[in-house]
Structure 1
């Protein structure tokens, strides 16, 4: 089974998509609440939401919109962006968010991240540019390799690991499957591929490669849906 996570990136309360993580490239698609409802109606179990404003400023910036989605939809929410301390985690848990994604703080403090995973439903987001981890809304790229960071979370309580190839994000250039497999094998976690999803061919190739490697995982679908490149409802019926 390949779990599909339709995505909503939030900027100023609206659903947008970026090109390779550049905020200036944001294209507005409309109401985040409307898209969450559509994904639920399509039969998606999860929606992957990123608070882009929060990722850049380091604190929650779209709380009211996220809370409205949670109240109006039954779909499970996987949420990231600006979650860097336990107080923020608690705020979202109390709101009923089903899984929280730690990114920048996971790179800076893996021990804190593992401790949070013992108490809360935590995923780790590893965002990489040329194989190196990028943080603070992808503004800063350091010298830590994505694979070595993934190894830090092997045999921990982390629920999932989301690996994004920034060079492909929003570009409709195809999932970097080799990178995804490297992260999955290093972490031994449920691994969610992100960045560049293009079409149903990506789903078929990713599913085949996951099965060959005996890996459990999923994929995030963003721009391909918003630009009409894929029939998400039909795909959810065939691939889940």
Structure 2
């Protein structure tokens, strides 16, 4: 299981939100590239980046910070937030990102998602953010009538690299991930599923790994608060 340290970007700073609320942002580092280097120095082999402002605006808003991270760190990175057209996908992949994450577009424009997934095999992930079992879009501000499983299954044959499943109620709350729902989704589809939201201890990571079907876990606030030691977590997961 791959561990993805998270760097959420708002106004050029590394922050964490509580349950997706922009008004509940805590700044952890005003130099995101330095934060990324610290994660890599501790042994991280991937980085998970989110342009929070971009998710609401529908276009990149923290490009300078993302570019600084890519320039500073040799490991692969994935990015979500405000990526809703092919030009933006091409821009980020040509800039050095290994993978782009499409969330709102996965609900609102499936033709586009399939098109770029064909054009860039294994470089496009679908982000599924949910309240309960219903998918939320546009920076988690709008709830849809689409269920998590239905959306995931719609992309079974699209060549998607991964599904990043976020339980919004758990995100940033330090209450543990929704292991059961994440494992159920991973059993329901053949696409690798990455868990996001709520990891607050090494025990949480052990529970996700013990499912045998969860491909990765994104960890944010727990790393910043010191509840999870990155080196210990990587050792636990075998990498």
Partners of 1:153 and 1:187 within 8 A in 2 = no
Normalization by structure 1: what TM-score?
0.95
Matches of residues 1-240 of structure 1 in structure 2 within 5 Å?
A: 2-30=1-29, 31-120=31-120, 121-209=123-211, 211=212, 215=213, 217-239=215-237, 240=239
Q: Which runs of 5+ in 2 are unaligned?
A: none
Instruction: Tell me the SS of whatever aligns to 2:169.
Output: helix
Q: Please tell me the root mean square deviation across aligned C-alpha atoms, in Å.
A: 1.0
Q: Which moved more, 1:182-191 or 1:168-177?
A: 182-191
Task: Please say which of residues 215-224 and 79-88 is displaced more in the overlay.
Answer: 215-224
Determine the C-alpha separation between the residues in 2 that align with 1:151 and 1:185.
11
Task: Say if 2:117 and 2:124, in contact at 8 Å, map to a contact too.
Answer: yes
Q: CA deviation at 1:110?
A: 2.0
What SS does structure 1 have at the residue aligned with 2:70?
helix
Give the Cα–Cα distance (whole angstroms) in 2 for the partners of residues 9 and 154 of structure 1.
28
Q: How many residues are matched?
A: 235
- 1:75 and 1:232, CA in 2 relative to 1: closer, same or farther beyond 3 A? same
Q: CA deviation at 1:183?
A: 1.9
Tell me the alpha carbon deviations over residues 137-191 of structure 1, each in whole angstroms, 9 at most, x when there is no partner: 0000011111110111113310010000001100011110111122212221111
Moved over 4 A (4+): none
Contact 1:124 1:158 in 2 (8 A): yes
Q: Could you tell me the TM-score, scaled by structure 2's length?
A: 0.96
Long gaps (5+) in structure 1: none
Residues 51-89 of structure 1: CA distance to partner in whole angstroms, max 9, x if unpaired? 000001100001111111111110211100000000100
Report deviation, 1:216.
Answer: 5.1
